[in-house]
Structure 1
Amino acid sequence: MYKAILVDDEPVVREGLKKTIAWNEHGFELIGDYENGREAWEAACELKPDLIVSDICMPFMDGLELAGLVATTYPYMKMIILTGYDQFEYAQQAIRLKVRDFVLKPITAREMRELLDKVRAEMDEEAKRLEDLGRLQSQLSRSLPLLKERFLERLAALGMAKPEIEEGFAYFGLGPLKPPALAIAADIDDFGERDAWLDDEHDAEFLRFAVFNIFEETAAERGNALVFRTREERSAAIVYGADDEDELHDAAFGLAEDVRHRVEKYLKLTVTLGIGHACSSAEQLPLSYKSALSALDYRFLHGKNRVHGIRDLEGAAPDTTFSLPDEDRKLATAIKTGASEEAFGLIERMVARLRSSQGPMEICYLELQKVVLTLLNAIQELDRNGADGVRTAGRTLWLTDLYRFKTLEEIERWLKRTVADLIEEIAAGRSHHLRAQMAKAETYIEERYADEKLSLRELCRHVLMSASYFSLAFKQETGETFVEYLTRVRIEKAKELLAATPLKFYEIAERVGYADPNYFSVLFKKHTGATPRDFRERLAQERVP
């Protein structure tokens, strides 16, 4: 089922198309309708529809302006223009913007259904062609010769002199590379659901070729791009032929976004692409390729399945002096005290600060290694003291484990899992001692509940525990906070006194630790549903034979 949105400033037109067309029967889910191009563009950016049906003349942003934005940013989206204006220049502009159909109003329901069926058939055919992995397998043996691929890789990664470039282009039958030009680098994030059944490197290589094939076909559709694979198992392209750098960057972003979308949609895996700086000659391509790889590294900060342009990302200078003062120490303390929520919060804040710093990936890894070293030191200290059943053995590989991950998000998840396991291990070693401490605390409360000044601080001094750790441990052991537990004990004692003695209410309040009888009455009613007076009277009535 494809997703579609409807754009028209006339409510009657929108309602008519919504009610008279059974969109689902024609293979489309109508996910929204909008009264102007600006609202539709915001929706397109968020919802990523496959089809946009739009009027031309609308307030704020007309249909052709919307078509231009869509063609540049989301070229895989199909667009149908419905208009009541039979003007040739409109049709010309729509063709230039690669609008799928330009239809004059009024359009009948039958004509609209036929149009939707036609568009769906074309989209199905495109999907079938791209999803036919069997066809991709047969094309693997007929791909571009390895020499051509190595030539393009050397041109982009290492550079060549002008005569050698011209000779290579002539030998491989490549057209002239008109500057400006730039490089795009694409890397598979992971294999998604296939990770569970990938048996060997051959399966992974086949999927890498499938990604490259989509890259190659998409570039061929657009023209002015040379696509190749690198020995680092990436796909890459050299884009050229634009009149200026702005136009070149728009073309490169459109190509990259189209590739990203098709890989996700048809192969069910994700890629991240980096777009480098423009250069003024083929000899300067290594500078562009290097900056494309730098843009690709921003996946570490911003996440997978994105297109990163180095020109956009380097608007602000990165903070190369960034550090995480005291955060790693606080994390170690939180682990020792079993404060898992505090530990997770610290990890989230550290990762957020690294991400916002826009610092180089090497600086981020260095700061994260400091965090891991602090954890290892804390574990070593517990191991040396023979406390809590924690051992250092087997954990020194954590420092190299960091480099297995491609994004800060993955490292954040790994840190949280590691910290959670540590806290659980420490908790298991402390469980017997902890239960004894909690029993001691409960006994202390039972003995001192009548003391109005009984406090958490006093109780923690008695059991020799910090307030934060005690509060967490007490809640885990009893299911109640200190205040909840103390209040429950006092109310239960008050109920016993109400039932067994003629004491006045203020006397009972004082005996269970409340100097203010009114506050005691409010608390009593909150916990029992009755005032002390009602509670005593009800007990008296129940005793009457």
Structure 2
Amino acid sequence: MYRVMIVDDEAVVRNGLKNTINWSEHGFELIGDYANGREAWDAVEMYRPELVISDISMPFMDGLELAGLISAQFPYIKMIILTGYDEFEYAQQAIRLKISDFILKPITAQEIRLLLDRIRAEMDEEKKRREDLSRLNSQLEQSLPLLKERFLERLVAVGLKESEVTERFAYFNLPPVSPLYVVMVVDIDDFGNRELHSYEHDSEFLRFAAFDIFQETLEEDHVLTFRTREERMVAIIFGQDNESLLYELVFSLAEEVRYHVEKYLSFTVTIGVGRASANVEQLPISYKSALSVLDYRFLLGKNRVLSIMDIEGKPTNVMPLSLEWDRKLATAVKTGAIQEAHQLIETGVAELKAALVPVEACMLQMQKVVLSLMNSIQELAIQQQEPSIEQQIKLMNVFRFKTLDEIEVWLKEVVSAVISTITDNRNYLTNMQIHRAVEYIDTNYANEKMSLQDLCRHVLMSTSYFSLVFKQHTGETFIEYLTGVRVAKAKELLHNSNLKLYEIAEQVGYKDPNYFSILFKKHSGITPKDYRDKQIKGSGA
């Protein structure tokens, strides 16, 4: 029997429905009738009926408001709305509230009986589906592999009591385990040169293929395999009472997995082998040590089998690279010594590897190097070419690399780019300084006392460096360029003015007219007087 209640503010309607319908004949038990939605809601909360038949227009709380509360808190309760309003908007609200039926008054007893039969048939079908044990068992069977994986993951990550392990092993039909135990963790390095754009080569397919090889290789009675939520592959190897023989077996299996993945899938994995455990409850110790040894891929490289036994006991130098190394790298970058900078990076990486410095300390050192490079750009680069905030953040993202070798390659690329930027900017600044020097000469050529020292102070350069770059940019020394400017100005005055020769000499920076004449002839091939006469004759002609 399904429980049903009636809600209507008209007593005649309630009494008519109660007395004209044989509720049990249609599979229902009438548990009450109520005059408004508020009373009905209290009863719904208390009795939880399967069906509510309600008027739409009532005091205190109408039928749609009642339907909204029921839909929100008891969505399994079906509801039929009775109304005398033939309004489309009511029908729309009824649909949104998932009301089973929306009936216009007046309604006959026969119509109510047919409606109840239809609703009961729907509820019977729903009940049948919910109670369909074969369907539930089928769903459970489909879920068992995932449930088993989550159980095994919990077993190694958190640990379980031996009694619970025995019970769960029986439930999942797992073979009984016995000491000693070792956990092996396999992590895909990357997918190499494979393209991940097509279905057959997408990452999920490749991970599935790797796990298939992993399971086939470790298909032994004394091995349990599963995948973690982080997409790592894990094996629990057990049943060997001699620790040395157990490790020998584990290393052999691990190397076989590594080899087969590389050979058949053309990408690589790194495998961490944890510490041996004497009982099941200590499996988390073995698992965590296998995970920790995977971190050493960062120092030792990809495509390896790494064991906690190989790492433990080795002296580790947790000190980062020296300040002297930082200073030398910064100097090499600022001076544009790219080969020296690359050699320093290689040396630094080799030192970090040899000392087995923890990953965190390595990352901190690499971030310091990146900050030093950014400071070099800010010190030497012109404002327009300083990296944007987004570029700086990208530059700092050293955590995207899995190995120190990858960071070494990346650092060399960054250093080369920084040196190129600094060189370009230095050339730009030098060009600007030479341009200022030329402007200064063109403006102050008449100053007899102009000297190289004055010019260098004006452009803020040393005399030796200025002389070198000035000759590179103009093809002349400072004196040659200044003399050329003065002679050119003198020619303009000789052609366009009636000034005396000694006056022209003084206006172009020479107090001694004779010295001016000698320089003019040396530069032009003729004396100032002959030049003027030639210009006058040319104009007359």
State TM-score, norm by structure 1.
0.52
Distance in 1 between residues matched to 2:269 and 2:261, nearest whole Å? 7
Distance in 2 between residues matched to 1:400 and 1:279, nearest whole Å? 40
Alpha-carbon shift at residue 237 of structure 1 (Å): 0.6
Aligned residue for 1:294, secondary structure, equals helix
Aligned residue for 1:255, secondary structure, equals helix
Distance in 1 between residues matched to 2:193 and 2:173, nearest whole Å? 40
Alpha-carbon shift at residue 170 of structure 1 (Å): 0.9
Query: What's 1:182 paired with?
Result: 182
Q: 1:426 to 1:169 in 2, by over 3 A?
A: same
Query: What's 2:203 paired with?
Result: 204
Alpha-carbon shift at residue 381 of structure 1 (Å): 2.4
Residues 196 and 203 in structure 2, CA contact (< 8 A), matched pair in contact too: no
Distance in 2 between residues matched to 1:247 and 1:405, nearest whole Å? 35
Residues 157 and 289 in structure 1, CA contact (< 8 A), matched pair in contact too: yes
Distance in 2 between residues matched to 1:152 and 1:321, nearest whole Å? 39
Query: What's 1:213 paired with?
Result: 212
Query: What's 1:345 paired with?
Result: 343
Q: 1:207 to 1:143 in 2, by over 3 A?
A: farther
Aligned residue for 2:214, secondary structure, equals helix
Residues 369 and 399 in structure 1, CA contact (< 8 A), matched pair in contact too: no
Q: 1:184 to 1:354 in 2, by over 3 A?
A: same
The amino acid across from 1:396 in the alignment is Q
Tell whether 2:251 aligns with 1:253. Answer: yes
Query: What's 1:193 paired with?
Result: 193
Query: What's 2:392 paired with?
Result: 396
Residues 214 and 259 in structure 1, CA contact (< 8 A), matched pair in contact too: yes
Residues 315 and 355 in structure 2, CA contact (< 8 A), matched pair in contact too: no
Query: What's 1:430 paired with?
Result: 426
Cα deviation, 1:166-217, whole Å, max 9, x if unaligned, reads 11111111122111101111111110121x3435899211111111111111
Alpha-carbon shift at residue 330 of structure 1 (Å): 2.0
Residues 379 and 392 in structure 1, CA contact (< 8 A), matched pair in contact too: no
Distance in 2 between residues matched to 1:211 and 1:302, nearest whole Å? 22
Matches within 5 A, 1:8-407: 145-194=145-194, 196-198=195-197, 203-220=202-219, 222-383=220-381, 386=382, 389-391=385-387, 393-398=389-394, 400-407=396-403
Distance in 1 between residues matched to 2:327 and 2:198, nearest whole Å? 42
Distance in 2 between residues matched to 1:346 and 1:395, nearest whole Å? 24
Alpha-carbon shift at residue 360 of structure 1 (Å): 1.5
Q: 1:397 to 1:340 in 2, by over 3 A?
A: same
The amino acid across from 2:232 in the alignment is R
Cα deviation, 1:427-458, whole Å, max 9, x if unaligned, reads 222335668999xxxxxxxxxxxxxxxxxxxx
Distance in 2 between residues matched to 1:312 and 1:275, nearest whole Å? 10
Residues 162 and 283 in structure 1, CA contact (< 8 A), matched pair in contact too: yes
Distance in 2 between residues matched to 1:217 and 1:142, nearest whole Å? 21
Residues 382 and 390 in structure 1, CA contact (< 8 A), matched pair in contact too: no
Identity percentage of aligned residues: 50
Q: 1:152 to 1:415 in 2, by over 3 A?
A: same
Q: Whose Rg is larger?
A: 2
Query: What's 2:108 paired with?
Result: none
Distance in 2 between residues matched to 1:233 and 1:390, nearest whole Å? 40
Alpha-carbon shift at residue 422 of structure 1 (Å): 1.2
Aligned residue for 2:339, secondary structure, equals helix
Distance in 2 between residues matched to 1:376 and 1:201, nearest whole Å? 42
Residues 372 and 398 in structure 1, CA contact (< 8 A), matched pair in contact too: no
Distance in 2 between residues matched to 1:158 and 1:197, nearest whole Å? 34
Q: 1:197 to 1:205 in 2, by over 3 A?
A: closer
Aligned residue for 2:363, secondary structure, equals helix
Alpha-carbon shift at residue 218 of structure 1 (Å): 0.5
Distance in 1 between residues matched to 2:221 and 2:366, nearest whole Å? 43
Distance in 2 between residues matched to 1:209 and 1:389, nearest whole Å? 46
Query: What's 1:412 paired with?
Result: 408
Residues 184 and 289 in structure 1, CA contact (< 8 A), matched pair in contact too: yes
Query: What's 1:74 paired with?
Result: none
Residues 322 and 357 in structure 1, CA contact (< 8 A), matched pair in contact too: no
Q: 1:393 to 1:462 in 2, by over 3 A?
A: same
Q: CA RMSD in A?
A: 3.2
Distance in 2 between residues matched to 1:393 and 1:297, nearest whole Å? 30
Alpha-carbon shift at residue 369 of structure 1 (Å): 1.3
Residues 295 and 308 in structure 1, CA contact (< 8 A), matched pair in contact too: yes
Residues 184 and 292 in structure 1, CA contact (< 8 A), matched pair in contact too: yes
Query: What's 1:526 paired with?
Result: none
Distance in 1 between residues matched to 2:344 and 2:463, nearest whole Å? 30
Q: 1:463 to 1:199 in 2, by over 3 A?
A: farther
Residues 376 and 395 in structure 1, CA contact (< 8 A), matched pair in contact too: no
Paired residues, what number?
307
Q: 1:381 to 1:394 in 2, by over 3 A?
A: farther
Aligned residue for 2:212, secondary structure, equals helix
Alpha-carbon shift at residue 329 of structure 1 (Å): 2.6
* Structure 1 residue ranges without an equivalent (≥5): 1-140, 439-459, 478-545
Q: 1:369 to 1:433 in 2, by over 3 A?
A: closer
Distance in 2 between residues matched to 1:319 and 1:348, nearest whole Å? 18
Residues 329 and 374 in structure 1, CA contact (< 8 A), matched pair in contact too: no
Query: What's 2:417 paired with?
Result: 421
Residues 388 and 427 in structure 1, CA contact (< 8 A), matched pair in contact too: no
Q: 1:173 to 1:374 in 2, by over 3 A?
A: same
Q: 1:319 to 1:234 in 2, by over 3 A?
A: same
Distance in 2 between residues matched to 1:157 and 1:395, nearest whole Å? 39
Q: 1:398 to 1:355 in 2, by over 3 A?
A: farther
Q: 1:281 to 1:310 in 2, by over 3 A?
A: same
Query: What's 2:69 paired with?
Result: none
Residues 299 and 404 in structure 2, CA contact (< 8 A), matched pair in contact too: yes
Residues 390 and 426 in structure 1, CA contact (< 8 A), matched pair in contact too: no
Residues 198 and 204 in structure 1, CA contact (< 8 A), matched pair in contact too: no
Distance in 2 between residues matched to 1:433 and 1:264, nearest whole Å? 52
Matches within 5 A, 1:475-514: none
Distance in 2 between residues matched to 1:299 and 1:201, nearest whole Å? 29
Distance in 2 between residues matched to 1:206 and 1:251, nearest whole Å? 29
Q: 1:344 to 1:301 in 2, by over 3 A?
A: same
The amino acid across from 2:272 in the alignment is G
Aligned residue for 1:326, secondary structure, equals helix
Distance in 2 between residues matched to 1:201 and 1:393, nearest whole Å? 39
Q: 1:201 to 1:234 in 2, by over 3 A?
A: farther
Residues 389 and 426 in structure 1, CA contact (< 8 A), matched pair in contact too: no
Alpha-carbon shift at residue 243 of structure 1 (Å): 2.4
